[in-house]
Amino acid sequence: MRPTKSSSWFTRFAKITSRATGRPAAFMMAVAVIVVWVLTGPLFHFSDTWQLVINTGTTIITFLMVFLIQNTQNRDSEALQVKLDEIIRAIDGAHNGLLDLEELEDHELDRIRSNYSNLAKKAREELRQGMKDTGRPDTDE
- Cβ contacts of 115 within 8 Å, gap of 6 or more: 139, 140, 141
pLDDT 10s digits, 65-101: 999 999 989 999 999 999 999 999 998 888 888 888 8
**CB of 12 within 8 A of CB of 68?**
no
Residue 3, pLDDT > 60, answer no
CA distance 96 to 12: 33
Residue 7, pLDDT > 80, answer no
Q: What is the pLDDT of residue 133?
A: 77
CA distance 137 to 119: 8
Question: What average pLDDT is seen over the chain?
Answer: 89
Burial class of 81 by CB neighbour count within 10 A (0 to 12, 13 to 18, 19+): middle
Q: What percent of the chain has pLDDT over 70?
A: 94
Collapsing DSSP states into helix, strand and coil, what is residue 121? helix
Q: What is the pLDDT of residue 92?
A: 86
pLDDT 10s digits, 15-41: 899 889 989 999 999 999 999 999 999
| 135 or 29: which leads in pLDDT | 29
